[in-house]
Chain A
Amino acid sequence: MRQSPVPQERKRFSLFGRGDNSTVLTVMVGFFIAVILVQIFSSVSDGALEYPSFISPENLLNILMQVSVVGIMAMGMSVVMIGGGIDLSVGMLASFVTLFLAKGTVDWGMGLIPSLITVIILAVVFEAAMGLAISRLNVEPFIITLGGMITFRGVALLICNSIEVSIWGALDPLKANLIEGAKGPSGLALVIPIYVLVFFAITIIIWWLMKYTKYGRRVYAVGANKNAAYLAGIGVKNMVLSTYALNGLLVAVAAIMLLARVNTAIITIGQNLEIDVIAATVVGGVAMSGGKGNIWGTFIGAIFLGAIANAMNIMRLQSEWQFVAKGIIIIAVVSAGAYVAARQARGQQRRQLKEEAAKTAK
């Protein structure tokens, strides 16, 4: 006799259907609504709009500019974390890249292009070296990349003698406005620099890589279960190594964009950047335990955190309070995601037990 068919999964109410991103999307929409309401009320009381409002086209483009660097780095972090690792060194590696590039171009006379190529290769090699240690020696990635972070900081300081280095606009082409001359409703110029486009392009490439290639599938498999991955014919060690190398490439690209934006390299440029990058990644639904999450989620996570920071600036919240608010929002979003997942798992288990009970009753 056939057993009764498994009950189809019950449709659950969700704004954005099934998937890991629904929590962060729901929170994000709620957040935007709240911001807009606050704005409407405050503008009514102020009676004037001196600054661009949050939902104005100028400001939305502004947010994109602000999140591009963190966003590109979050793409690399997502690949590393989906593969079961983590990288604390990205902030200091970014500092190193900017300083080396500025020094190489301005002081060492290497020329812009050779400096760019050298620094990209160096970043990839540094990350690959950490990946080598992590995959071959089986040391916790947390420890190795913590060591990497301190080392990169030291190397960067050695390069710059602890002073800032300007690149004198050598990277300005990356800032070029793609919609030169366009104006928003309030008369302010609209800006989409090339590096925002780079952010989008990298998002699409990494999204494609992780979703539509064997490489992506294997990274997910390694992050989910190393042993099973090995026995399924995957070269686990090289896979882990490759995620760090790829991350090095993306950190280098992000750091170049960062230098283009601010024009001056300084050791503090990448300080605490890893915190924002990891925050964007986990808010976007990538699991610290590996094997779970997706690039689209990370993209939303990066924009979400950027939007929060931007909105708090517009609302002229004290920077001390901004930290508190940002921290609580990160904790809340990730906890909410975990809670929803746990509830779904419990529901699943309950259904299964019911099924089994029905079976034994027969």
Chain B
Amino acid sequence: MSEEILQLSNISKTFPGVKALSDITFGLKPGEIHCICGENGAGKSTLIKIISGAYQPDKGGKILFEGKPVSIDNPHVPIQLGIQTIYQEHTIFPHLSITENIFVGMEITKNGIMQKDEMQEKTEKVLEYLHSTLKPDQLVDELSSGEQKIVEIAKALVLERKVIIMDEPTASFSVNEIDNLLEITKKIKERGIGIIYISHHLEEVFRIADRITVLRDGMHIKTCKVEETDVQQLIRDMVGRDASAFYHRDFFEPGEVVLEAKNLSGNGVNNISFHVRRGEILGFAGMVGSGRSELMTLLFGGAEKLGGSVSVMGEEVNFKNPSDAIKNKLCYITEDRQFTGLFLIHTIARNTMIANMVNTKGFTINPKEEVEIGDEYVKKLDTKAPNSQALAMSLSGGNQQKVVLAKWFNTNGEIFIFDEPTRGIDVGAKQEIYQIMMNLLKEGKAIIMVSSDMPEIVSMSDRIMVMKDGRIVGELTKEEVSEENILEYSIGGKKI
């Protein structure tokens, strides 16, 4: 297939402990929109980063550009080749005009003097071509995020790029802006530009794709023409794992309701209602950015509640801050251990004691007791550390997670919020964390779990709430829990 402008063969990428991509083959033709689909962590972003020079692939793979082998070992190579990546976050200078943004670093000069009129003219032409009402000398600061994306596309056209990569371009767009962007994307492909398009939103994919490539767990699953597949088939391709990827757990008879939210709003989430009972795990599924962690922070008193009500053990509560939540037996194991969970430069013992201070009386601390309790949890959770005087930063990811757990167990909490409980943890430690969660259930505690790890959420949850754009879009009972159902709600946009 020499007609392909960009060809990747046998591309792999290994990070310490994880194989993010293995033997990926991918091709892009001029004038084609090629969509890449896959769950969180399937390897889409890694692939893009390899094409744009942010990551180096492992040895053994080959990249051909216009038939010639190239080695993309830094981010400047793709720019020289004519590949433009439009990232999810804006890479734009807000205080400069549209023209200045487009030509930044590539100004047209004559004898060292900028040719402002020429640049202005070129920009104007492209904006006209895109049927945009934007003016070249408008400041980018004043534009909406949808308009800013158009500036980036205009940049690619002005600089006559041959390949454009769009990573989740429609995130935080309004419906009109999405329509507009999809139209523009279709229009520019007629110029013979090859476009790689990545999106969680399958409806967008089916509106614009010529070909679709599916990735799963870093592997290439299939590439096909858009006519050859449909939403159902695509979801099956994205999830079709074999049974060994799942875990087996015992289920218990759930007890009384310990936490109930009714029409809860605030911190970017809207109208959330759910309850969780003793002895069960309530899973929260959804794409990254669907508002799950925001909901958990809100529940824990870390953000202002704008509406609705929360009751704990049957009594309505109004948490002003996390301290109130802790007093009411809530525990919050956050998704980012190092940033929001641990005091890395302090000892395990100190980390263990800190959250329970809101519950204990008195002003002083008994250092002997501190060490004893610290050591007790090191033993109980089988934390791999010499003793509780070791610094948290000296531990591996799984053992750091155990220190976070010790901190919350020490508060005698009843309701545990686990946000991505096993992220960045190796397989052995994962099993240990699951065992610890099972023990909590046996003791009659309740667990709310947010997870983007599909096998984890499917096999660990009693019930699952699916979130999208800050709202709950589906509830799955134990019988209904499956990867297909979760994906249908979270990306297929199935209405309830």
Bound: A212/B368 CA distance, A: 11
A328 touches B (CB below 8 Å): no
Bound: A227/B385 CA distance, A: 25
Of B300, B340, B357, the contact of A214 (CB 8 Å cutoff): B357
On chain B, the residues within 8 Å of A233 by CB distance are: 321-323, 325-327, 355, 357-358
Of B321, B332, B346, B384, the contact of A291 (CB 8 Å cutoff): B346
The chain A residue with its CB closest to the CB of B334 is A231
On chain A, the residues within 8 Å of B390 by CB distance are: 9
On chain B, the residues within 8 Å of A356 by CB distance are: 17, 396
B386 touches A (CB below 8 Å): yes
Q: Which of B56-64, B125-133, B274-282, B359-367 contacts A (4 or more CB under 8 A)?
A: B359-367
The chain B residue with its CB closest to the CB of A231 is B322
The chain A residue with its CB closest to the CB of B333 is A231
A149 touches B (CB below 8 Å): no
A173 touches B (CB below 8 Å): no
Tell me the minimal C-beta distance from B312 to chain A in angstroms.
15
Complex interface bits, B343-380 against A, C-beta within 8 A gives 1, otherwise 0? 11110001001110110101111010000000000000
On chain A, the residues within 8 Å of B386 by CB distance are: 6, 8-9
B146 touches A (CB below 8 Å): no
On chain A, the residues within 8 Å of B327 by CB distance are: 233
DSSP majority for the A interface?
Answer: helix
B458 touches A (CB below 8 Å): no
Tell me the minimal C-beta distance from A338 to chain B in angstroms.
14
Bound: A225/B407 CA distance, A: 15
Bound: A255/B390 CA distance, A: 40
The chain B residue with its CB closest to the CB of A345 is B393
A217 touches B (CB below 8 Å): yes
A170 touches B (CB below 8 Å): no
List A residues 205-253 near B (Cβ within 8 Å): 211-218, 220-221, 224-225, 227-235
On chain B, the residues within 8 Å of A214 by CB distance are: 357, 360, 362-365
A225 engages B344 (CB within 8 Å) = yes
On chain A, the residues within 8 Å of B363 by CB distance are: 213-215
List B residues 390-429 near A (Cβ within 8 Å): 390, 393-394, 396, 407, 428
B345 engages A292 (CB within 8 Å) = yes
Tell me the minimal C-beta distance from B395 to chain A in angstroms.
9
The chain B residue with its CB closest to the CB of A353 is B16
Known: A218-B357, A221-B343, A224-B343. A230 touches B384 (CB 8 A): no
B302 touches A (CB below 8 Å): yes
A3 touches B (CB below 8 Å): yes
Known: A3-B384, A348-B394. A232 touches B322 (CB 8 A): yes
B346 engages A213 (CB within 8 Å) = no
List B residues 277-320 near A (Cβ within 8 Å): 300, 302
A212 engages B364 (CB within 8 Å) = yes
Complex interface bits, A179-218 against B, C-beta within 8 A gives 1, otherwise 0? 0000000000000000000000000000000011111111
Q: How many residues of B contact A (CB 8 A)?
A: 40
Known: A214-B357, A220-B346. A6 touches B367 (CB 8 A): no
A224 engages B364 (CB within 8 Å) = no
Known: A214-B364, A291-B343. A232 touches B355 (CB 8 A): yes
Bound: A202/B322 CA distance, A: 34
Bound: A229/B350 CA distance, A: 12
A228 engages B341 (CB within 8 Å) = yes
A-B contact count (CB 8 A): 96
A352 touches B (CB below 8 Å): yes
B15 touches A (CB below 8 Å): no
List A residues 34-88 near B (Cβ within 8 Å): none
On chain B, the residues within 8 Å of A221 by CB distance are: 343, 346, 350, 354
List A residues 309-362 near B (Cβ within 8 Å): 345, 348, 352, 356
A227 engages B339 (CB within 8 Å) = yes
Bound: A324/B344 CA distance, A: 36
Tell me the minimal C-beta distance from B411 to chain A in angstroms.
9
Tell me the minimal C-beta distance from A126 to chain B in angstroms.
26
B465 touches A (CB below 8 Å): no
A217 engages B350 (CB within 8 Å) = yes
The chain A residue with its CB closest to the CB of B350 is A217
Of A224, A230, A348, A352, the contact of B322 (CB 8 Å cutoff): A230
On chain B, the residues within 8 Å of A228 by CB distance are: 339-343
Bound: A213/B322 CA distance, A: 21
B365 engages A212 (CB within 8 Å) = yes
On chain A, the residues within 8 Å of B340 by CB distance are: 225, 227-228, 231
Bound: A8/B394 CA distance, A: 13
On chain A, the residues within 8 Å of B350 by CB distance are: 217, 220-221
On chain A, the residues within 8 Å of B362 by CB distance are: 214
Bound: A228/B350 CA distance, A: 13
Bound: A3/B432 CA distance, A: 13
Bound: A218/B340 CA distance, A: 15
B332 engages A231 (CB within 8 Å) = yes
Of A9, A212, A292, A352, the contact of B396 (CB 8 Å cutoff): A352
Tell me the minimal C-beta distance from B163 to chain A in angstroms.
38
A217 engages B357 (CB within 8 Å) = yes
The chain A residue with its CB closest to the CB of B323 is A233
Bound: A137/B334 CA distance, A: 26
Bound: A197/B327 CA distance, A: 42
Tell me the minimal C-beta distance from A52 to chain B in angstroms.
41
Complex interface bits, A119-135 against B, C-beta within 8 A gives 1, otherwise 0? 00000000000000000
Of A6, A8, A220, A229, the contact of B384 (CB 8 Å cutoff): A6
A231 engages B343 (CB within 8 Å) = no
Of B321, B355, B367, B428, the contact of A235 (CB 8 Å cutoff): B321
On chain A, the residues within 8 Å of B300 by CB distance are: 231
On chain B, the residues within 8 Å of A230 by CB distance are: 302, 321-322
Tell me the minimal C-beta distance from B405 to chain A in angstroms.
13
Bound: A221/B322 CA distance, A: 15
On chain B, the residues within 8 Å of A6 by CB distance are: 384-386
The chain B residue with its CB closest to the CB of A220 is B346
Of A212, A218, A348, the contact of B367 (CB 8 Å cutoff): A212
List A residues 1-55 near B (Cβ within 8 Å): 3, 5-6, 8-9
On chain B, the residues within 8 Å of A224 by CB distance are: 343-346
The chain B residue with its CB closest to the CB of A351 is B394
A231 engages B344 (CB within 8 Å) = no
Additional A-B contact list (8), CB under 8 Å, known A6-B384, A233-B322, A233-B327: A3-B384, A6-B386, A9-B390, A213-B364, A221-B354, A227-B340, A232-B355, A356-B396
Ordered nearest first, which 4 A-B pairs have the shortest CB separation? Answer: A233-B323, A233-B358, A232-B355, A224-B343
5 examples of A-B residue contacts, CB within 8 angstroms: A216-B365, A218-B357, A220-B343, A225-B339, A348-B394
Chain B contacts to A: CB under 8 angstroms: 17, 300, 302, 321-323, 325-327, 332, 334, 339-346, 350, 353-355, 357-358, 360, 362-365, 367, 384-386, 390, 393-394, 396, 407, 428
